[in-house]
Structure 1
Amino acid sequence: MKNVMVIAILLFFTSCEDTKSNKPVTIPVAAATQPVNEKVATFAEGCFWHSEIVFQSLVGVRDAVSGYAGGTVANPDYETVCSGSTGHAEAVQVHYDSTKISYETLVNAFFASQDPTQLNGQGNDIGTQYRSAAFYNNEKEKQVIEAAIKKLTDEKKYKDKIVTQVVPFTNFYPAEAYHQEYIANHPDNPYVAHVSIPDFERFRKEFKGNFKN
């Protein structure tokens, strides 16, 4: 019982922001030649460690890069983004082969892997940098995002209103090296072990997508 209480207390106070590391990591190298049909999509849904493994698990996605999007300051770093002063959200840029996975599927995965009704946060990760946002590159992508929101609303999937921002893409800055592939490199981190991985396992179980082996 004591162990259960200790874990509960740790989870209450643990967030993506609380856990930092300067441990050098080996970042997987993307394919030297990008597929002819490769496109890029940008999403924010709380801690980017979580977003990374969600999208990387899907067939057709070559890479998902953690970074910062939607802000007003050039070349932000993690500390300033966490302060909320730059206007950025923790986000991922998803590099995908449009002949193997559709933008619509990515949008559906985006909504299925978060609580889009929580304003400026996900779980214990609170702040504008953890807001839910879908950044569209063109009118067609905007329509796909809005259609997904309407479908979830019509189905009464959530008790509360979806507050995901639907905004045009303006900028993206890759996060520091130690944030890339963070979950793969730090599986024993308390936040990763008790929040990120269980959340991902729920997503993988519930989402009707084509997953990599």
Structure 2
Amino acid sequence: MKAIRAGLAAALCLLAAGRAIAEDAARINPTDPQPTCAMCPGTYIPSAELERYTQKAIAEKLIDQQVRDIDIGKARIGIGMVHRGKLDKPAADSVAEHDQISEVYHVISGAATLVLGPDIVGRQRRPSTMRTVREFNGPGNNGSDIKDGVAYEIKAGDVVVIPAGTGHWFTKIDDHIDYLMIRIDPDKVTPLKGEAQSTEYLSKPAVKGE
């Protein structure tokens, strides 16, 4: 009886070990799809931090600010906060286009008229020395108009997706518009920015000038 029990226990141990080996092999099998960001941590940004960016924008008359720039393996993701004040008519050459970075807006508050389209009139290369080019949205152009552009009345809760190369142009802002910006940077043209850099940025006045 003791021999039978010992044999049964040994068999169970071998079975468990076999299962563990099979599971390990399944996890590391090189023919399986592999994570595109191996062992990468997640990123959490509290709403209080985002709100501090909006407060800073209002206090210091800023528009676009980058909160994070995160490496996700095949691309980088930028998280920005944008505050725009009242606009009765568009400024000259205020159509924007980014060659390599796509953008997603999630409107938090306010309302505006936003015109979108790829056929940009009067393209002018944005200087590579601009901070927004170097740190936020990479190389691109400004323009004077968008041929056959589509106008959207955007408001709190709306989402806008702007592929790289598509012109975007605020032509009217009723009072203000605040939106969360998600930038998709597959070519990794913008620098990384973490929590420590964000804390330091918020601790002192922003450097003026672009």
TM-score range, shorter chain: under 0.3
Higher Rg of the two aligned structures: 2
- Give TM-score scaled by structure 2 length: 0.26
Structure with the higher fraction of residues in helix conformation: 1
- Give TM-score scaled by structure 1 length: 0.26
Structure with the higher fraction of residues in strand conformation: 2
